[in-house]
Amino acid sequence: MYIFGVLNRNMISNTCKYGIRAILYIAVNSDGEKKIGIKKISEDLNLPGPFLGKIMQTLAKNKILNSVKGPHGGFSLAKAPEKISLYDIVKIIDGDDVFHECLIGVKICESNPEYTDLCPFMGKSHKVREMLEKTFKEQTIGEFAKGINSLDEFLQI
Amino acid sequence: MYIFGVLNRNMISNTCKYGIRAILYIAVNSDGEKKIGIKKISEDLNLPGPFLGKIMQTLAKNKILNSVKGPHGGFSLAKAPEKISLYDIVKIIDGDDVFHECLIGVKICESNPEYTDLCPFMGKSHKVREMLEKTFKEQTIGEFAKGINSLDEFLQI
DNA sequence: AATTTTATGGAGTTAAAACTCTTTTTTTCT
DNA sequence: AGAAAAAAAGAGTTTTAACTCCATAAAATT
C-alpha cells in the first residue's frame, strides 16, 4: 500500500535494469565481435528504443560497450563478459548509494563510514548490505549469460 | 553518476524514512501515554510539517499510531514499541516490493516465487534479500530507541 | 559522391514522488 | 456556547525519473 498513489519501489532503477538486460542480451547473442543495434535489442526485449539508446550511450562512454555507427554498426561488449559485473553497471547508472546510504536517512551514519554503532540499525544492517554489494560485485555478465537457457525469460517486464 | 541529472537512489523512500524517524522520536520522547504534535516533531526532526502530517495519518489508519485532535492532542504509539518493527512501517508506506521483486525486472522471477533458479541472479541473490527482510523484521522500534543516546543524531537529513 | 543505416546530442513531454496550502472536523479550555 | 488547538481531508504545485522526438554525425554500400 502506498499513501498517495501507486508505488513500486525498487532497489534498482528501471533505467539500470534496462541497461543490465541489454548487456545480457548482447552477451548471449554476440560472439564478442558481432555488433547488435538498438532497434533489434529494444524490439526483442520490449524496451523503449530511444530511451535504451541513451542508456547504451552512457555505457559506451563508461567503456562497458563499444559502439559503431553506420550500416552494420551497433553495440558490442568492450570487455570480456567475465570482466563485467552487475555492480559495475549499477554504479554507472544508479550510483552506489543503494549499497551505502543510511537506510533511514540518519545524518550521523552518513558521516561515519566505519559504522561505529552510533545508529543502532546501521550496526545491525551493514553486514547484510555488504553481502548485497558483494553479490552484485561477484555476479558477472559472463556467468549470468551462461545460466540463461532461453531468451524468452527476458522478454517484456 | 547518473545519466540525466542528479540521482540519489534509495532502497527506502523519503516518505518512509520520515515515518520511521517520527515514530522513533515518539518512542524516545513519550512514555506511552503522552501525545506529541506534528509541529513539535517536524521542527525537532527538521521535516516538512504538512507532509509529515500525511504520513502520520497513514500510520494512524494502519494502527501503528493513535491520534487525538484538539488542544493537548497529537500522536502516540498504538502498540508497545517492541511490537513495532521497521518492516511493519516499510510495508505500510513503501510496500514490500523492495524485499521481493526481481532485481533486474525479469518476468519469469516475478511469476516464480519459489526461486527455482530460472533467473541465475535470483538464485544467488534471494538469500541476501531474505536476510535483508529478516533484518527489518527483527529490528523493533523499542530496541532501536534504547540504542539512541542523543536525539541530535536524528536531527536533519 | 549520394544514399542509407546506424549512433549521438539536445530539447522536449509525461508520470510519479515529494511536498504545500487551505478548509473542515474534532477536541479541549474558558 | 465560544474560542483555540490540533489532526483530517482534499486539492493543489514542484521536482525527478522515465520516456519521446527531431536534427546531426559518422560509417558503409551503391
Distance separating alpha carbons of residues B47 and B56, to the nearest angstrom: 12
* Four-residue CA torsion sign, B10, B2, A111, B56: negative
Nucleotide nearest to A40 (CA to C1'): C6
Which residue places its CA closest to the C1' of nucleotide C9? A54
Contact B16, B51 (CB under 8 A): no
The pLDDT, as a whole number, for residue B143 is 94
Nearest to A3 among B93, B123, B139 (CB): B93
Is the C-beta of residue A59 closer than 7 Å to nucleic acid chain C? Answer: no
Q: What are the residues facing A75 on neighbouring strands?
A: A36, A67
Nucleotide nearest to A12 (CA to C1'): D17
Every domain of chain A with CATH number 1.10.10.10 lies at 10-79+141-157
Given an 8 Å threshold on Cβ–Cβ distance, is A1 in contact with B147?
no
User: Which CATH number is A10-79+141-157's, of 1.10.20.10, 3.40.50.720, 3.40.1050.10, 1.10.10.10?
Assistant: 1.10.10.10
Counting residues of chain A whose pLDDT is more than 90, the rounded percentage is 65
Instruction: Compute the average pLDDT of residues A34-53.
Output: 95
Q: Give CA separation, A22 vs A49, A78, A101, B25, in Å.
A: 11, 14, 27, 45
To the nearest whole Å, the CA of B41 is away from the closest chain A CA by 15
Residue B115 has pLDDT above 60, yes or no: no
Give contacts of B147 with chain A, Cβ < 8 Å. 117, 120, 123
Give the pLDDT confidence score for residue A86 in this predicted structure: 97
Strand C closer than 7 A to residue B72 Cβ = yes
Say whether pLDDT at B157 is over 50.
no
Q: Which chain A residue lies closest to B15 (C-alpha atoms)? A: A3
Q: Which of A9, A20, A95 sits opposite B2 (nearest CB)?
A: A95
Residue A57: the pLDDT is 96
User: Taking CB atoms and an 8 Å limit, are B128 and A124 in contact across chains?
Assistant: no
d(CA A15, CA A27): 19
**pLDDT above 90 for A147:** no
Judged by a CB distance cut-off of 8 A, whether residue B84 touches chain A is no
The predicted structure's pLDDT at residue B10: 85
Mean pLDDT of B25-50: 92
Comparing A70 with A107, which gets the higher pLDDT? A70
The architecture of the domain spanning B14-148 is Orthogonal Bundle (1.10)
**What pLDDT does residue B54 have?**
96
Instruction: Select from B21, B106, B135 the Cβ nearest to the Cβ of A153.
Output: B106
Is the C-beta of residue A57 closer than 7 Å to nucleic acid chain C?
yes
Specify the pLDDT at position B24. 94
Residue B17 CA to residue B76 CA, distance in Å, equals: 18
Q: Is the pLDDT of residue A157 over 50?
A: no
Q: What is the DSSP letter of A151?
A: G
